[in-house]
Amino acid sequence: MALLEQTERQWSAGSGATVQQHLAFPSAAASASVSAAAEDEAEAEAGKGAAGGGCCCVCMARAKGAAFIPCGHTFCRTCARELLAGRGRCPLCNAAILDVLDIF
């Protein structure tokens, strides 16, 4: 609660508006950055077609070709096998990896 009160004081002192006003009426710059991020995400999704769903988010070099069971997150086969043998947990959701399923 103290953090909320401190934030309220800082925002009120800086712009004369309350936290609720900032949340209810975001600035034009914030709205523009949110819409730009949404456009970037849409373009990234559009680029993932029959090419295999993109590249591995661990090594950023190879195409995805394996999924973790039970969470279903996908990585390249090399990284998937190394993560199973090493950490034993998914780097995205921290779920325990029971098996690796080759999907492509």
Residue from 51, 101, 103, 59 nearest 79 by CA: 59
Contact 65, 104 (CB under 8 A): yes
Q: Assess whether pLDDT exceeds 80 at residue 40.
A: no
Classify residue 64 as exposed, middle or buried by CB count within 10 Å of its CB (0-12, 13-18, 19+).
buried
3 state DSSP class of 24: helix
Contact 66, 101 (CB under 8 A): yes
Q: What is the pLDDT of residue 65?
A: 95
Query: Could you tell me the fold of the domain covering 52-104?
Result: Herpes Virus-1 (3.30.40)
21 against 72, higher pLDDT? 72
What is the percent of the chain with per-residue pLDDT over 90, rounded to a whole number?
47
Q: Where are the domains of the chain?
A: 2-47, 52-104
- Of the pLDDT bands very low, low, confident and very high (cuts 50, 70, 90), residue 83 is very high
Q: What is the pLDDT of residue 34?
A: 46
